[in-house]
Amino acid sequence: MTRPTATSPTATSPTATSPTATSPGMTVILNGEKHESAGPMSLAGAVRLLTTAPTGVAAAVNGEVVRRADWPQTQLADGDEVEVVTATQGG
């Protein structure tokens, strides 16, 4: 199993935000790295930031595994910790 890492958001990224007094953004921890989001984010969106693998992916929010079917409607909150692992083949 491997843990993909989030790439740092760039200024042109739709999820990138710089902290300001008027910004309603939130910070989530994706596989141990802070990620700032300008707005709401689902677990499915967070997983897409880490991997494009269509299968062999598992995700947990704050230590609780979430069924893949529930990822789109699982909304993340400020401070949530998301762990994503992908199965790898070989040895």
DSSP code string of the chain:
-B---PPPPPTTSTT-----TT---EEEEETTEEEEESS--BHHHHHHHH---SSSEEEEETTEEE-GGGTTT-B--TT-EEEEEE-----
Mean pLDDT, consecutive 10-residue segments, the chain of 91 residues?
54 37 78 95 97 96 98 98 92 64
Whether 14 is covered by a domain: the verdict is: no
Judge whether 80 lies within some domain.
yes
Residue 2 resides in a domain = no
**Lookup result for tokens 């992916």:** 57
CATH of the domain at 62: 3.10.20.30
Is residue 52 assigned to a domain?
A: yes
Give the pLDDT of residue 14: 38
- 47: containing domain: 26-86
Residue 77 lies in a domain: yes
In a domain, 5, yes or no: no
